[in-house]
Structures are given as structure tokens and as C-alpha cells.
Chain A
Amino acid sequence: MQITTEQIKAVLGNAQILNGIDFQAKDNQFVGIIGPNGSGKSTLLKCIYRVLAPTEGVVYLDGKPLSEHKVRESAQKIAVVAQHNYYNFEFSVREVVMMGRAPHKKALDRDNAEDYRIVREALKTVGMSEFEDRSFSTLSGGEQQRIILARALAQQTPCLILDEPTNHLDIKYQLWLMDIVKELSCTVVSAVHDLNIAAMYCDYLYAMKDGRVVAQGTPKELLTPKLIRTLYDVDSKISIDEDGMMHIFYYPSSLAKKEVLS
């Protein structure tokens, strides 16, 4: 599936968060959005997954404006794994994942054997099969995040949006989650904090700052010490190892000068 945005602007309160964003994710592409806190990554994603309405500009899903989709239809196309998932009420893991089937259901439809099969499959994919009957609220942050990924998988959409999904995860599961997502044959749009992860998994990157896209390209084209300096105000060094993998090293400002001098 293809997602395009045209001159998206968004205002929250009095602040202009997005300043005319043109963005594109092609079929089966893994697109990453990088940028410092407050650069508008999440806001852009929220405009795409319909939690925020842009004040100007249009989002297109496969060429059709988002506003012409019913909420149910857009949920059949885009599944979301967001940062915070935290509930006051106790649901079992199965029930949470089953909610991923909601966009495919009409009011009087019942959950059938096929739905249960899809739920089981999704739990298996994220390696949480034995947690089926557990209460969602008793799981750790990382486990909960995997269940939310399973819910998104159960939605069976051609596009997946990850809004900084690896925040709660330790390194093993960060890589593991990105591996799972990478293997899905669907369009993925992800906000990424960790540039090494962005370099490892993304086909294409957008770099955002102050509500604008300041650069875009493949990780190898885009990620340079100069850009990292512009985005994050941090000195860095980039090396490419014998396997062709990019590694980004940062220098804290206290050490930066010494390192550069020596």
C-alpha cells in the first residue's frame, strides 16, 4: 500500500507543529522518520493514522484521500503500534488481540473460528502464545508492547505504523520486534529514535526538525555526522564494518572537544 501526504500542516493549541510536510511511503517500503523530540514525528504519524486531523493538506491512502475513507475502512488498511498502551480495566491477552479483528466486523457479526485462528497466529508470531489467558495488565511493559503488535498483526492490514514502538523494550526485543516487522510484506512507517536501528532496518528515511522535513534519502545517503549535528546538536562518527553495516557513535559534548582535538 502507498501512503502520500501533501503539504500537511498541523496546529496544536497555538503551536504550529507541522509546517507543510510532503511524505511518501511506497508499496512494501520500510520508511523511518527520525528527528529530535518535538520535531513533529508523532504528529505526522497521528495525522496519517487519523487521530489528528491536519489543519491543511491531504493524506492519501493508495491515492484516495483519507477523509473519504470511513474510520472502519482506514482501520482495515492501517494498523498502529503506539507508544503508550495502558488500561484501567483488566482484559485477557486474547481479548486485547481479538480487538484487532474489530475493523473487519459489522455490529452483529460474531467472532468466528477464523478470527480465533488469526488471533492465535498473531500471538505465535510475537512469541506470546502461552500468555493467551493472562491478564494484560499483569504483563511487563515489553510484553504488553508485543501483545499490541500482535493486535496490529491480527488487523491484517497492508500497512503498519509504529510510533516509537521500541521505547519499552530492551535491546534484544527492540531488534526482535523490528525483525518481525521487517519480514511482514507490508508498508511500514515508523518513528525511530535509535539511529543505528534506523540504519539497520529502514529502506528510506525522512529527517524532521521543527515541523519540517530537512532531508530524506536512504540511510547511507542521509545519515552523516553533519545531519546528526543539525538534528540533534550532537557530534558523531559513522563507520561501516566489513559486513556493510552502518554504526553510529556519539560523543557527549563534555568529551567531544577532547576527542576531536586528539
Chain B
Amino acid sequence: MKHTRKNFFEKKPVYLVVLFMLFIALIFSLLLAVTIGSTSIPLADVYQVVFYKLFHVGDPSFGSGKIHDVVWFIRLPRLILAAAVGMSLSICGVVMQAVVKNPLAEPYVLGISFGASLGATLSIMLGIGTMFGPNYVGVMACLGAFLISIGVVALSNIGGRSTSVKLLLSGMALSSLCGAFSSFIVYFSNDQDGMKTVSYWMMGSLSGASWENNLIVVPLAIAGVIFFWTQYRTLNLMLLGDEAAVTLGTNLYPWRQTYLLVSSLMIGFVVYSSGVIGFVGLVIPHVVRMLFGTDHKKLIPLSALVGSIFLIWADVLCRVIIPGMELPIGVLTSMIGAPCFIYLMARKKYGFGGKE
């Protein structure tokens, strides 16, 4: 066959090169961001600690002490967590947008954030779930998020099979319900400290990062990305709708439920480790889609990398933007995310909910 025009394989390397470059950028972001913080530590010392801990080479005096603690127990786990959380949020955003077939969806659209906040409120205000140990608030938030998504799936299946519209509506209904209950509890408990803790939870923060938590969140994020990457064909078909998907050999119904449960598990652990961080899951998939198109084969890995790089730097910004104070990361991502979103919406070229 003549190759007079663009061959498909000529386009493929572009995306693979971008993928590779983003991966390098992620590594560099981690290496660079670890040197930035409120305590000023000489560059050389930071890397000595990292190298000593990772490869056991260099001066053993960097294996302990104040500098070691700051770098190894505070900064690095926090950065790794930021990367994993950014990855999970943007992947789940991509998946939710496909599952409900709506480009306005995000990980929290199906009531997950309100479920989490209800869980957190119950534990903070009423002390429910203290048997889960020291981080019982996180566990309760995670449980709340997970139970709500199961509730949404169940509700959308009442009176006939679940469709993307029914999922969206069930999500909105249960969100309002959880929100109302949270407000009810907050209003009547009249507990100033508790209120502050709840709102802190809702604004999101990565300051609770620890290696123990990362041991769950990071593998889950990576496993999630790999799982959804293998599912790119079904995700593509989801955007065509149920009818077209059946004629192309896939019944979407079981997959929708599966993807929802997998992503609410991922999001549950994200909420557990860092509270509710908004807009990342909405904006990152959109930006990637504008540059590289909707094909999930590319969208999934690219969003994962862009999301983690974005959150690493957002967290750095939170720590340095106001000297001596830390901005909740959820506030920052919404401040950056919402205007981006408005810009995207105002652009005529990008289709939102229909043809222009």
C-alpha cells in the first residue's frame, strides 16, 4: 500500500514522546519540589538525605537528625502523596465523565464529596467510628464516600436499568441529602472547634502525609491507572452511548457499575489521606483532552501524569504563597480550577453537551 498521506504510525510516536517527557517531568518535579519548603535546608543536604535513604550511599549522618526528619518524614511522603492523589483524581475524573457521558462530571459529582463530608462530620461531631483508631475521621470519610457511591448505583437501578442520566440525578439527590444531614449535625452540635475541623477536611490538605498511608494510596493509584488504561475501548464506547456500544459488541451496564466502584474506592482513599480536593478531576482531563483528543488510550496515561505533576506544584504553591502559613490545597485548586473551567466553557470550539 502506498503511504502518500500521513501514516497512523507516524502520529503515534508524538504521543509516546509526550508521555515519556511527562514522566521525566514528574521525576524532576519530585526532585525539585523536595528542596522547597518553609525550613530552608541546603540543596546538597536534601539530596544527600534522599540518596542515603534510597540507595544507602553517602554520609550515614544524613540517615537521622532534624534535616533527615524534615526531608524524609515530612516533605517526601507529602510529595509522593500529592502525586498519587493528583493521579487518582484526574483518572477518576476521566472515568466519571465517561460513565455519566457528560463532560461536566468530576470524581465528586456522584455525591462522593458530600458522602465523605458526612462521614467526617459524624466522626468529628458525634465521635462515631472511634474504634477505627487514630485516623478514624479519615476512615469514616472514606467509608462515607464509598457507601454513597454504592447508594447512588443502587438508586439509579430502581425502576429499570441504570443509565448515565439516572446516575447523575441519583448523585445529585444523595449529595443534597448528605449535605443537609451534615449541616443539621453541625448546626445543632454548636461545636466551634468541630466546625473548624470539618471545614478543614472539606478544604483538603496533604499535611497528614505519612509513609504508612502512602503504602496504600500510591499502589492503589497506580493499579487504578493500569486497570483503566486496559479498559480504554470500553471507555471510548461509553461516550457513544448504550445503543451504539451494543452494536459494537459491549454491554456497558456491568462496566459502568464496575468502574464506579473502582473509582469510588480510589477516591475514598484519596479523601482518607487528604480530604476533598476539588476541580483537579474536572480540569486536568479537559486540558489533556483539548490537546490530545478524547481517545482514552492516550487520555488515561497522559491525565495521570499531568494530574500528579499539577498537584505536586499546587502543593508547593500552598506552602510558600503566604509566608509562615499554609493554604488549604482544595482552596488553591478551586481558585485555579474554576477560572480555567470558565475559560473552557466560554471557548466555542470545545463541545459541552452538544454540537455547536
Residue interface bits A47-77, CB-to-B below 8 A is 1, else 0: 0011100000000000000000001111110
Q: How far is the CA of A76 from the CA of B9 in the complex (A)?
A: 26
B355–A86 touching, CB < 8 Å: yes
Of the candidates B231, B243, B297, B351, the one whose C-beta lies within 8 Å of that of A137 is B351
Given known contacts A50-B246, A72-B250, A100-B248, is B293 in contact with A92 (CB within 8 Å)? yes
Interface size class of B (residues with CB under 8 A): 35 or more
Check A241 for interface membership: any CB of B closer than 8 A: no
A89–B249 touching, CB < 8 Å: no
Q: How far is the CA of A129 from the CA of B5 in the complex (A)?
A: 9
B353–A88 touching, CB < 8 Å: yes
B240–A116 touching, CB < 8 Å: no
Residues on A with C-beta less than 8 A from B197 are: none
**Residue of B with least CB distance to A152:** B247
Given known contacts A71-B246, A82-B243, A137-B355, is B251 in contact with A132 (CB within 8 Å)? no
Tell me the smallest distance from the CB of B116 to a CB of chain A, in Å. Answer: 28
Q: Which of A73-104 contact B (CB under 8 A)?
A: 73-76, 78-80, 82, 85-92, 94-95, 99-100, 102-103
Given known contacts A71-B246, A91-B294, is B251 in contact with A102 (CB within 8 Å)? no
Residue interface bits B218-240, CB-to-A below 8 A is 1, else 0: 00000000000011011011011
Residues on A with C-beta less than 8 A from B347 are: none
Residues on B with C-beta less than 8 A from A183 are: none
Q: How far is the CA of A214 from the CA of B246 in the complex (A)?
A: 30
Residues on B with C-beta less than 8 A from A71 are: 246, 249-251
Check B289 for interface membership: any CB of A closer than 8 A: yes
Given known contacts A87-B240, A88-B353, A107-B230, is B249 in contact with A75 (CB within 8 Å)? yes
Q: How far is the CA of A119 from the CA of B1 in the complex (A)?
A: 13
Residue interface bits A96-124, CB-to-B below 8 A is 1, else 0: 00011011010110010100110110000
Q: How far is the CA of A9 from the CA of B356 in the complex (A)?
A: 39
Q: How far is the CA of A149 from the CA of B351 in the complex (A)?
A: 23
Given known contacts A50-B246, A50-B247, A102-B250, is B8 in contact with A91 (CB within 8 Å)? no
**Residue of A with least CB distance to B242:** A51
A88–B243 touching, CB < 8 Å: no
Check A130 for interface membership: any CB of B closer than 8 A: yes
Q: How far is the CA of A117 from the CA of B2 in the complex (A)?
A: 11
A108–B236 touching, CB < 8 Å: no
Of the candidates B247, B352, B353, the one whose C-beta lies within 8 Å of that of A79 is B247
Tell me the smallest distance from the CB of A145 to a CB of chain B, in Å. Answer: 14
Tell me the smallest distance from the CB of A96 to a CB of chain B, in Å. Answer: 9
Given known contacts A75-B248, A75-B249, A102-B237, is B351 in contact with A120 (CB within 8 Å)? no
A116–B247 touching, CB < 8 Å: no
Residues on B with C-beta less than 8 A from A117 are: 1
Check B102 for interface membership: any CB of A closer than 8 A: yes
Q: How far is the CA of A119 from the CA of B242 in the complex (A)?
A: 23
Check B103 for interface membership: any CB of A closer than 8 A: yes
Q: How far is the CA of A86 from the CA of B356 in the complex (A)?
A: 12
Q: How far is the CA of A71 from the CA of B242 in the complex (A)?
A: 12
Residues on B with C-beta less than 8 A from A94 are: 8
Residue interface bits B85-126, CB-to-A below 8 A is 1, else 0: 000000000000000011100000000000000000000000
B247–A89 touching, CB < 8 Å: no
Check A133 for interface membership: any CB of B closer than 8 A: yes
Given known contacts A85-B244, A91-B293, A117-B1, is B103 in contact with A102 (CB within 8 Å)? no
A133–B251 touching, CB < 8 Å: no
Given known contacts A82-B244, A99-B236, A99-B237, is B293 in contact with A116 (CB within 8 Å)? no
Tell me the smallest distance from the CB of A233 to a CB of chain B, in Å. Answer: 31
Given known contacts A82-B244, A88-B353, is B293 in contact with A72 (CB within 8 Å)? no
A88–B351 touching, CB < 8 Å: yes
Tell me the smallest distance from the CB of B123 to a CB of chain A, in Å. Answer: 39
The listed residue with most A CB atoms (<10 A of its CB), out of B11, B293, B297, is: B293
B1–A99 touching, CB < 8 Å: no
Instruction: Give 11 A-B pairs besides A50-B247, A75-B249, A99-B236 with Cβ atoms closer than 8 angstroms.
Output: A51-B243, A71-B249, A85-B244, A87-B239, A88-B103, A89-B239, A89-B289, A89-B294, A90-B293, A95-B294, A135-B293
Interface residue ranges, A against B (CB under 8 Å): 49-51, 71-76, 78-80, 82, 85-92, 94-95, 99-100, 102-103, 105, 107-108, 111, 113, 116-117, 119-120, 129-130, 132-133, 135, 137, 155
Q: List 14 A-B contacts (CB under 8 A).
A: A71-B251, A75-B248, A75-B249, A78-B247, A86-B355, A91-B294, A92-B295, A100-B248, A103-B249, A105-B233, A111-B297, A119-B8, A130-B5, A137-B355
Smallest CB-CB A-B distances: 5 pairs:
A103-B249, A75-B249, A80-B247, A72-B249, A89-B294
Interface residue ranges, B against A (CB under 8 Å): 1, 5-6, 8-9, 11, 101-103, 230-231, 233-234, 236-237, 239-240, 242-244, 246-251, 289, 293-295, 297, 350-355
